[in-house]
Structures are given as structure tokens and as C-alpha cells.
Amino acid sequence: MNPETEFPLQQVLDENGKLVGDRSQVTDDELKDFYRWLVLLRTLDQRAWNLQRQGRIGTYAPFSGQEAAQIGAAAALNKGDWLCPSYRDWGALIYAGVPLYYPFLNAMGNPVSGKIPDDVNALPVQVVIAAQILHSVGLAWSSKLQNQNRVAIPFFGDGATSQGDFHEALNLAAVVKAPVVFVCQNNQWAISVPISRQMNTKTIAQRALAYDIEGVRVDGNDIIAMYQTLKQMVAHARSGAGPVLVEAVTYRLGAHTTADDPTRYRESEEAERLARREPISRLKTYLQEAGLLSEEDIQRVDEEAKADVEDAVKKAEQYPKMAPESFFDNVYETMTDPLKKQRGQFQASLAQGGVTHG
């Protein structure tokens, strides 16, 4: 078997913004809206990086370069479907309706960022690698048993496919035919470990064969291909035909987190070459050449994105600070006696000046 033949890369726009496939399932207005979302999320992501460098937020995991993979997938869901994100998937959450200032609050350590709005079916961001993949199967299976006709999408990176949770989740989902669309954002690097050192398989999509489920590879930097392919895969899962594994081939433009230095393990030539495939420039080029985006439109989108992000920064920085002892409060629905004791000891330490409010 030739995996690259069995699992060809689905692509509609090439890296130069040229139409190389069928885009009949997406309208001009949807494409222009996608462009606005991509610019907004890139602006937010870069602002967050700068805020961390200024000491205004804590550690942050940037997602620049992966916006199309997230938006293209999230846009394919219905309102009641489930999103199960990792710590790098704020783009999908924001598209689904999570406030724009939540990523900043999260990087400030404010637990409010984990309170998902009532009208958004999503889990809070998961830091434990691959854990949300298991949770997505539970949500999807529960939905199936209750005849709710909902699909779940967990987002995860290539590094997560080396975790046992990934394989356990795919195995169970295949057995019970849970309506899950597993979306792996293969950004080529698990922190400093390249994909070539993580696995011996040529593709991630081919791992679907082991569980006898549908597998597909998509150009994760091509938002049209992502959206159209995910629409098909979501329909497949919703029909009861079983789960799907999607490998979105993308590239992490920046560092793993603000605590990382990718220049220590990535060659500059590789970074420059793969950066040219990023999603915003290719969509902008296509829209301009199709007469759907003018220079005035580009300037307006940029200015609106900057204004929206600055408003989000203000909201986050003006948000009421949480009391230090509040991190005890939501560990369990009802606080246990040992936790009450620890909370009391911590409060006593505060009163004695042992801990300062941050």
C-alpha cells in the first residue's frame, strides 16, 4: 500500500492561492467571512504573544498558521455539536461563540476562562495531551444513546497520536460507532520532536485502517478544502456510519509556547519554506484575483480586527481578579473535608502575609 495514494491530500487552493479543485460547496460570502475570521484570529494570536513578552499575561501557546484547520472544521458543525479543544485551539472556540477575551484570561490564570457560555457546546481547553479525545467519544456516544443527533470534534496535534488515549478513543469509537470526527492538526512538530521521529507511518490518516474507520488527509492551510471535507465527514459521522479520522496537514509558524525557542531545533530554511504555505495569504490572493477582495476591504478587515482584539485585551485586563484561595473552589462540585482544611490553611497563610495577591 502507498499511503500517499490511498490517502491523497485534499486540496482546493494551492499555496499560491490558485484554484486547483472544486469549491462549489462554499459561497463567495462565506469565503469573505472566512478571510475576516482568519485575520481576526491571527491578530489575536500575535497580540497575545506580545502581551506575554510584556509580562501582562503568562505562558501562552500560539496557533498562528493553524487558523484555517480550526475554522474550517468548526464551521462544518451544527449549533448543537460538540467541540473538544486542546490548549492551542482557541480559534475554534472563538468561532463557536466563546468570548474573544477568554484566551487572555486563560493566560492570566483566571478560571473564568473555563466557563463556557451556555449556548456553546464545548469543553474548556485541555492541557493534558490527548485527554480531550477520550472525552469527545463519551460525548458522542452519549448523544447517540440519547438520539440527539450530535457530532463531536476533538482537536489535537500530531504529538497526541503517540499517546495511548488516542488509540483507546479511536478503538472505542469504532466499536460503538460513535459520531466523532477526530481532527488531528499535524503541524509537523510535537514541541521539538519532528513527525519523522514520532511514527514510522507515512501519514496519520492511515491509522484509521487499524480501526476500520474512515480516514482522510486534508491541506490544513486550505480553508476551502478543510470546510468542504469536514462537511462531508461530519455528515458521514452523523449518519451513523461511524467515526472519522482527519489529518489536517498544517504548520506551526511560531513556537510551541512562549516558553519555547524553535530556532534551537528547526532549520530556518524549513520554517521559511513552509511558512509560505500559510492560510491567510493564499486565501487573500485568491479573493483578490477573483475580484472579491479590494485593497480597501483588506485595510478595513485589518483595522476591525485590531480594534476587536484591543477591546478584548481591555476586557481581560479590567476583569475582576480572582482571590488566590478561589482555586480550591471548583475542584469538586462539593468541596471535600481535606480540601476545606487545605483552603483554611491557605487563607491563614494569606492573613499572615505568606502569600500575596497576584
pLDDT tens sequence across 207-228: 999 999 999 999 999 999 999 9
The string over 48-77, giving b where at least 16 C-beta atoms fall within 10 Å of a residue's C-beta and e elsewhere, is bbebbeeeebeebbbbbbbbbbbbbbbbbb
Catalytic residue among 265, 273, 276, 300: 265
SS3 (DSSP) at 215? strand
Q: What are phi and psi of 305, to 5 degrees?
A: -65, -45
- At 319-353, the pLDDT tens digits run 998 888 888 888 898 999 999 999 999 999 888 87
Q: Residue 50's pLDDT band (boundaries 50, 70, 90)?
A: very high
Options 3.40.50.970, 3.90.420.10, 1.20.210.10, 3.90.850.10; CATH of 3-322: 3.40.50.970
Per-residue pLDDT reduced to its tens digit, 82-132: 999 999 999 999 999 999 999 999 999 998 999 999 999 999 999 999 999
- Check residue 165 and give its pLDDT: 98
pLDDT in the model for residue 270: 83
What are the angstrom distances between the C-alpha of 239 and each of 105, 177, 235? 38, 10, 6
Q: What is the pLDDT of residues 293-306, one digit of tens each?
A: 999 999 999 999 99
> 71-75, 135-139, 172-176, 260-264: which range is least confident on average?
260-264
Q: What residues have CB less than 8 Å from 13, skipping those under 6 apart?
A: 19, 20, 21, 23, 219, 222, 223, 224, 225, 282, 283, 286
pLDDT(46) > 50: yes
Active site residue 252: yes
- Residue 28 scores a pLDDT above 90: yes
More confident residue, 267 or 221: 221
Choosing from 23, 42, 207, 256, the catalytic residue is 256
Catalytic residue (choose from 88, 236, 252, 277): 252
pLDDT at position 354:
59
Q: In what order do the strands lie in the sheet with 152-157?
A: 9-10, 214-219, 244-249, 181-186, 152-157, 82-84
Q: How confident is the model at residue 271 (pLDDT cuts 50, 70, 90)?
A: confident
Q: What was the pLDDT predicted at 330?
A: 80
pLDDT digits (tens, 9 = 90+) for 176-219: 999 999 999 999 999 999 999 999 999 999 999 999 999 999 99
Q: What's residue 358's pLDDT? A: 44
CATH 3.40.50.970 segments of the chain? 3-322
The C-alpha atoms of residue 151 and residue 20 are separated, in whole angstroms, by 30
Confidence label for 249 from pLDDT (cuts 50, 70 and 90)? very high
Q: Residue 357: pLDDT band by 50, 70, 90 thresholds?
A: very low
Q: What is the pLDDT of residue 275?
A: 84
For residues 321 and 339, give the distance between their C-alpha atoms in angstroms, rounded to a whole number.
22
Q: What is the pLDDT of residue 355?
A: 56
Active site residue 265: yes
